[in-house]
Structure 1
Amino acid sequence: MHAGAKPLGFWMCTALIVGNMIGMGIFMLPAGLAPYGRNAFAGWAITVIGCLFIAHVFARLARAMPDEDGPYGYCRRAFGNGIAFFTMWCYWVSIWISNAALAIGIVGYLAALLPPLRANPALQPLAGMAIIWCFVLVSLRGALASGRVQLVSAALKLLPMGAIVLLGAWVLAGDSAAYAAHLADVPFSLDGTAAAGTIALFAMLGVECAALPATKVDQPERTIPRATIAGTLAAATVYVAVCAIPLLLLPARELAASDAPFVALFQRYWDAGSGQWLALAVIVSGLGALNGWTMLAGEVTASMAAHGIFPAHLKAANRHGAPTWSLLLMGVLASAMIGMNYTRSLAEGFTFLTMVVTAASMPLYLVGGAAVFKLAQRGVLARGKALTVSAAMSCVFSLWAFYGMGREAFWWGMALGALSLPVFWLARWRQQRRAAAGSTPTAAAPP
């Protein structure tokens, strides 16, 4: 991509949000939510509302600071390099773990189509790694190529959504008692609702996606806020219409053990072969999400390198404007995470990784909400009543999600965040060394 070129417009940014939010989560998470019974619906409702508050926060931040380098710039402007560094480190970790989770989900549905893959678990992590590297190659072709793939995949993934809604309506019309007959008999509880909501939150991650490649967005002060709100509303609507159906129509025990819940749904209520076609459509949806997150992984890594956090060579771009070394690093890390989950089943591995991703993403949402108050105090941001409520609820929702994720995911998230400390100290030491040598760094590093 030539200097000054900004290939991402409103439709590509909206497709980036919708495509990244509606990935494998909507198809895999019913298995993770099945044990929570009616708590799953309460958790979903809280999660959707919380994500709409977060979307409003990031839309207003983007409108107020169009020249900043996405969420890193917003956090740095509000709290300085130190907090911005920790926040974006955690978010960076969440992206490449998310890519590993997406690849695992895709393999789960591929196994439903390919008996040899289903019969040989040793091939499954290798298949996931191969998928990761295919999209690294796509992203190396530049943001425009990734954006075009995202537009096509976002349109294609709506087809299976429509089929799922039609199936649910057909079953309801034939036997209204079919609904709610299969929910796990679990009483309402704060812990259950919080845990279910945190699992569901993985599927809603991505409200900030349009702001991440801000330097490649056309008219960012106008495009990013519009795409953020439109994309989040569209994704939330689809989730409400689709994700409840397998929870209501499949026995909780069967659903919890399924690596491909919607395939099981169609095979039970339609015919034995219909699930195969749905599996193919689900794979397309997951591939589209992986395409978008792979591109963003490269952009976030390159942005952190440009600010002196990561080695400078990670910001180097090829002739298509793609950060080559950043994308290669993402491929290596995501592949390693897939290998580490080799001992778990596909469903267990996916659910575990979603919890870790959620834990690593929460600092960005918490700091983003807090940044509104800090920037409004400085006069950078005009704070109205609606924005104040959104910022406050974003912070409350983030803390609620931390509560719901459980000890294992929380400590995994904290451990991954702690790994940022040596990187932070190394970046500061390098800056001090350059300053002592009398050289001027090309980009600001953490203090």
Structure 2
Amino acid sequence: MSETAGPEKVMQEKVELKKQITLFQGVSIIVGIIIGSGIFVSPVGILMHTKSVGSSLVMWAVCGVYNTLCALCYAELGASMPQSGGEYIYIKRAFGDYPAFVCLWINFLLICPVGIAALSLIAALYILQPFFPDCEVPVLAQRLIAICLICFLIAVNMRNVKWATRLQVFITTSKLIALAIIIIIGFIYFGKGSTENFSDAFSGTDYSAGAMALSFYSGFWAYSGWSYLSFLTEELVNPNRNLPLAIMISMGIVTSVYLIANVAYLAVLSPQAMLQSTAVAVTFASYTMGVMAWIMPILIAVSVCGTMNGTSLSMSRLFFIGAQNNHMPLFMSMIHATYLTPAASLLVILILVICFQSSNDIWFLIEMEGFGFATVLTIVFAGQAYLRWKEPDLHRPIKVPVALPITLSVITFAIVILTFYQKPHESIMALLLVGVGTLLYLLGNRWTKKPKEIQNKIDSINKFIQKLLMVLPQDNPNNVKWD
């Protein structure tokens, strides 16, 4: 597509993504994505299924270790294939073009916009909650605030990568402060002798396979987000070193914080009170913080915004790379001529999120997202094992035992089956959407000999959007004159 708004004079600076994300910022991105609303709003899924305090804490630790092992596999893949795009690149390398497109399509239509839309509505709810203490928050006000939040975050990401990463550092610090408040208060209660919830901690445990599977399922999703930094590999300083380090440091922080926060909750609230609460951190604050309890909903909103910001930052790079491989519209593969950010991809994310924010059943969409995410992980781990046979000489700075990705692939496939069993309608809908994506793949990618009239129309649309957004293909010169 060299004919679209090409530059007329060459400048020294190239239009390309810059390596400017440090190890500290990488850790902040991962921690900021993983620690979203779950630990504040409803960390009760495990407790509900295990039916005892002791076994719930054990399961939190097991889920942390399991997700850390998953992250180790991603660290191997990221270090051996240091390209932005993460799992999309790994699947493409292992299985080829179409499976990679399916991964991209699931992220594009379900995981990214649905997740951000739901989080923006949750953040808006907790921002407005202190203003409506005795009644429900108006739906229109909630949606307007949600739209404002995502517009602000996308604008920051479009303007400057450093601004976005610094904002992520600030938000991650804020959410760790919120958790520190909970932990300190909880351990003060613990020190004063509030330990009755921990006596005979394993009494009443449900050891059935179904209960263990469902509790593991709940904990598995609480740790999701550790893979997102791999979408930003090309912008990470010294990725071979910093990508695996950032992943492992982040998982250690998150697992420790989750365990300690649950102990703090249980030092103040009974298991029954936790199970009945719609937002555990808010209930905790109302029990312990008196007139200052209003701070907690605001901190929850800030925490959720961190997940939204990190998701927007990382997923926009995934779609940017996908468009470079002709799996997305051409204009999404371009970078803003001045700000050197994937502005077109970010704008597409904004449009999709606003569309999903108007859905009357966002939770139905979230269940579809869960099915899609488990499916992608299954393919990634299977591909990692397959690459050991297909490319045995590939340089792997980090190398895990091949039995690990094989085992993880089997377990995540079992999670896919469990999701299908629990949520059949949502899972079938997700499969139908993959079918729609397949049709678009055949039309857009495999239909290479399109009639000239159709191709000219596609080219003119790309050219119009390119001029409108002032974006250029990567490696083209900056500060161009538009024709």
Q: Which TM class, normalised by the smaller chain length?
A: 0.7 to 0.9
Cα distance in 1, alignment partners of residues 351 and 383 from structure 2? 33
Shift, 1:117, TM fit: 9.6
Q: CA RMSD in A?
A: 3.2
Cα distance in 2, alignment partners of residues 68 and 125 from structure 1? 33
Q: Deviations over 1:314-373 (max 9, x none)?
A: 22322322333322222232233333246x8xxxx4xx6654433221123222211221
Q: Do 1:140 and 1:323's aligned partners in 2 also have CA atoms closer than 8 Å?
A: yes
**Closer, same or farther in 2 for the Cα pair 1:354/1:257, shift >3 Å?**
farther
Cα distance in 1, alignment partners of residues 135 and 238 from structure 2? 47
Unaligned runs of 5+ in 1: none
Q: Deviations over 1:17-51 (max 9, x none)?
A: 11111121221232545533336445433321221
Q: Deviations over 1:229-266 (max 9, x none)?
A: 22222222211211354356435554345343212112
Cα distance in 1, alignment partners of residues 143 and 331 from structure 2? 30
Q: How does 1:60-79 map onto structure 2 within 5 Å?
A: 60-67=76-83, 69-79=85-95
2:76 matches 1:27: no
Counterpart of 1:167, as a letter, is: I
Cα distance in 2, alignment partners of residues 242 and 156 from structure 1? 15
Q: Do 1:63 and 1:224's aligned partners in 2 also have CA atoms closer than 8 Å?
A: yes
Counterpart of 1:395, as a letter, is: S
2:112 matches 1:95: yes
| Paired position in structure 1 for 2:406 | 392
The 10-residue stretch of structure 1 (148-157 or 182-191) with the greater mean CA deviation from structure 2: 182-191
| Paired position in structure 2 for 1:294 | 312
Q: Do 1:184 and 1:252's aligned partners in 2 also have CA atoms closer than 8 Å?
A: no
Q: Deviations over 1:274-296 (max 9, x none)?
A: 32122222222222221111222
Cα distance in 1, alignment partners of residues 31 and 424 from structure 2? 27
**Closer, same or farther in 2 for the Cα pair 1:78/1:248, shift >3 Å?**
farther
Cα distance in 1, alignment partners of residues 180 and 347 from structure 2? 36
Shift, 1:194, TM fit: 2.1
Cα distance in 2, alignment partners of residues 243 and 121 from structure 1? 32
Cα distance in 1, alignment partners of residues 56 and 43 from structure 2? 9
| Paired position in structure 2 for 1:163 | 181
Unaligned runs of 5+ in 2: 1-13, 460-472, 475-483
Q: How does 1:5-404 map onto structure 2 within 5 Å?
A: 5-33=18-46, 35-36=48-49, 37-38=51-52, 40-67=56-83, 69-92=85-108, 93-115=110-132, 119-122=136-139, 123-180=141-198, 187-246=206-265, 249-252=268-271, 254-268=273-287, 270-318=288-336, 319-341=338-360, 349=363, 355-377=367-389, 378-379=391-392, 380=394, 386-404=400-418
Q: How does 1:420-439 map onto structure 2 within 5 Å?
A: 420-435=434-449
Q: Deviations over 1:397-431 (max 9, x none)?
A: 31343344464545424422431333333333334
Counterpart of 1:44, as a letter, is: W
The 10-residue stretch of structure 1 (156-165 or 428-437) with the greater mean CA deviation from structure 2: 428-437
Cα distance in 2, alignment partners of residues 107 and 117 from structure 1? 17
> Residue 358 of structure 2 aligns to a residue in which SS?
helix
**Closer, same or farther in 2 for the Cα pair 1:253/1:105, shift >3 Å?**
farther
Shift, 1:52, TM fit: 0.8
Among all aligned residue pairs of Structure 1 and Structure 2, give the percentage whose two residues are the same amino acid.
19
Cα distance in 1, alignment partners of residues 118 and 142 from structure 2? 13
Q: Which has the larger radius of gyration?
A: 2
Counterpart of 1:24, as a letter, is: S
Q: Do 2:375 and 2:413's aligned partners in 1 also have CA atoms closer than 8 Å?
A: no
Cα distance in 1, alignment partners of residues 68 and 246 from structure 2? 13
> Residue 273 of structure 1 aligns to a residue in which SS?
helix
For these two proteins, the number of residue pairs brought into alignment is 434
Q: Do 1:99 and 1:334's aligned partners in 2 also have CA atoms closer than 8 Å?
A: yes
**Closer, same or farther in 2 for the Cα pair 1:44/1:414, shift >3 Å?**
farther
| Paired position in structure 1 for 2:429 | 415
Cα distance in 2, alignment partners of residues 68 and 132 from structure 1? 23
TM-score (norm 2): 0.80
Task: List structure 1 runs of 4+ shifted beyond 6 angstroms.
Answer: 181-186, 436-439
Q: Do 2:105 and 2:434's aligned partners in 1 also have CA atoms closer than 8 Å?
A: yes
> Residue 206 of structure 1 aligns to a residue in which SS?
coil
**Closer, same or farther in 2 for the Cα pair 1:219/1:177, shift >3 Å?**
closer
Counterpart of 2:43, as a letter, is: P
Q: Deviations over 1:190-238 (max 9, x none)?
A: 2223223222322211111111122222222222122122222222221
Counterpart of 1:394, as a letter, is: L
Shift, 1:113, TM fit: 2.0
Q: Deviations over 1:79-133 (max 9, x none)?
A: 1111112123223321222212322332342243222795333232333233222
Q: Do 2:129 and 2:137's aligned partners in 1 also have CA atoms closer than 8 Å?
A: no
Q: Do 2:82 and 2:234's aligned partners in 1 also have CA atoms closer than 8 Å?
A: no
> Residue 159 of structure 2 aligns to a residue in which SS?
coil
Q: Do 2:79 and 2:396's aligned partners in 1 also have CA atoms closer than 8 Å?
A: no
Cα distance in 1, alignment partners of residues 63 and 395 from structure 2? 26
Cα distance in 2, alignment partners of residues 338 and 26 from structure 1? 23
> Residue 387 of structure 1 aligns to a residue in which SS?
coil
**Closer, same or farther in 2 for the Cα pair 1:242/1:145, shift >3 Å?**
same
Cα distance in 2, alignment partners of residues 405 and 26 from structure 1? 22
**Closer, same or farther in 2 for the Cα pair 1:51/1:173, shift >3 Å?**
same
Counterpart of 2:332, as a letter, is: L
The 10-residue stretch of structure 1 (40-49 or 164-173) with the greater mean CA deviation from structure 2: 40-49
